[in-house]
Amino acid sequence: MPETTYVKAVNAAMAKAMREDERVFVLGEDVAEGGPYTTTAGLAEEFGVERVINTPISESAIAGVAVGAAQSGMRPLLEIMFIDFITLALDQVVNQAAKAHFMSGGQLSVPMVLRTQGGAGTRGGAQHSQSLEAWLTHIPGLKIVMPSTAADAGGLLASAIEDPNPVVFIENKTLYFRREQVEDEIEPVPLGRARVAREGGDVTIVALSRLVGDALSAAERLAAEGVGAEVIDPRTLVPLDLETIVGSVEKTNRLVIAHEAVEHGGFGAEILAEVQAVAFDHLDAPIERVGAPFAPIPLSPPLEDDYIPNADDVYSAVRSVLR
């Protein structure tokens, strides 16, 4: 099996879509230069700067351009370089893209993908490291994707590009360069279907993005102690594959939800509420959440390392629900 990385899988999915569909084009800051993480490297060389469009630092306008182009029949792939900057594009994402189909009585659709990346761990400080996905999951009309592996990044991006709705595709910068074995051809992964990353019968861990790796590490440690942890990666937050999560909880009777975002108001709260509403009788312990503290992300390396939720935190949460 060939080896690839998350960033290469994202890049390859975009290139494949651009080869197959002339309506697909890329726009964003520095995209023709490959961007800070090389996600768009080589695209301008292959497809020209007419289809790989460098933009000024104007997040509001370029998001609007993507919406207008999408509802005029194109398939824009908009890159917002850091999710922290999506604040500047939110009018277009929330008020325009998400609602155009609905408000027009179904006349318009906005088949655009807004690719961005979040996550701490690179000493980026509080404005280049956030995990802001929960805000976006609150907006009807948007689909929200957060892949944790290279295969899923490539496969989900292919599906996101095909989707007739606005999709926010949230990558994680610390996952970009991890090596991973993949199939010869990365197949599209449907939106709205969770992946069971590890099977187990004693506790369910639902983990998002970077925390999937941490959950798997915790599961290894738990296995050595005789505890079978099932790790589920929802992969898309909207639509959410509640069925797979609930099915697992009905088997294990215990649930831990782990994400890098601030725990307070994080998407874990939504998963928790939805699970307890339908599976309360199956739960043998209160659901535990793992997330970052209610504070901006610090720069100082030891403080940042301590701030980010990790495998130890997941392990402790599992131990707590097993008590």
Partner 1 sequence: MWRIRHFEEQVGVLKRADQVHGLIHLSVGQEGVSASVCTQLRDDDPVYSGHRAHGHCIAKGAPLERILAELMGRDGGLCRGLGGSMHLVDVEHGFMGATGVVGGNIPMALGSALAGRLRGGDQVAVVFFGDGAVQAGHFNESINLATLWGLPLILVCENNGFAEFTPRSAHTNVERVSDVVAPYEVERETVDGNDVLAVWEAFGRFLAEARKGSGPFLLECLTHRLRGHYEGDPGKYREAIAKADWQEKDPILRLQRHGVSEGWFSEDDVAAVERESLAEIEKAEQFARESPFPDQRLIAELVYA
Segment contacting partner 1 by CB under 8 A, of 34-42, 71-79, 205-213, 268-276: 71-79
91 interacts with partner 1 by CB under 8 A: yes
92 interacts with partner 1 by CB under 8 A: yes
Q: Which residues pair with 207 in a beta bridge?
A: 258
CA dist., res. 213 & res. 167, Å (int): 24
64 interacts with partner 1 by CB under 8 A: yes
User: In whole angstroms, how close is the CB of 206 to partner 1 at the nearest point?
Assistant: 23
165 interacts with partner 1 by CB under 8 A: yes
Q: Which residues pair with 113 in a beta bridge?
A: 77, 167
- Report 167-226 residues binding partner 1 (CB under 8 A): none
Question: Is residue 59 annotated as a catalytic residue, yes or no?
Answer: yes
User: Which single residue is written with the structure tokens 């197959």?
Assistant: 20
User: In whole angstroms, how close is the CB of 71 to partner 1 at the nearest point?
Assistant: 7
Asked whether the beta carbons of 182 and 151 are under 8 A apart, the reply is yes
100 interacts with partner 1 by CB under 8 A: yes
Q: Parallel, antiparallel, or unpaired: how do β-strands 195-198 and 229-233 relate?
A: antiparallel
Specify the residue, 2 or 239, whose C-beta has the smaller distance to partner 1. Answer: 239
Asked whether the beta carbons of 321 and 289 are under 8 A apart, the reply is no
86 interacts with partner 1 by CB under 8 A: no
HSE-CB for 187 with a 13 A CA cutoff: 3
Which of helix, strand or coil describes residue 83? Answer: helix
CA distances from 13 to 9, 55, 109, 128, 154 (A): 6, 21, 22, 25, 5
Specify the residue, 104 or 181, whose C-beta has the smaller distance to partner 1. Answer: 104
| Residues with a known catalytic role | 59, 128
Give the footprint of partner 1 on this chain (CB under 8 A): 25, 50-51, 55-56, 58, 60-74, 76, 91-92, 95-96, 100-111, 140-141, 143, 164-165
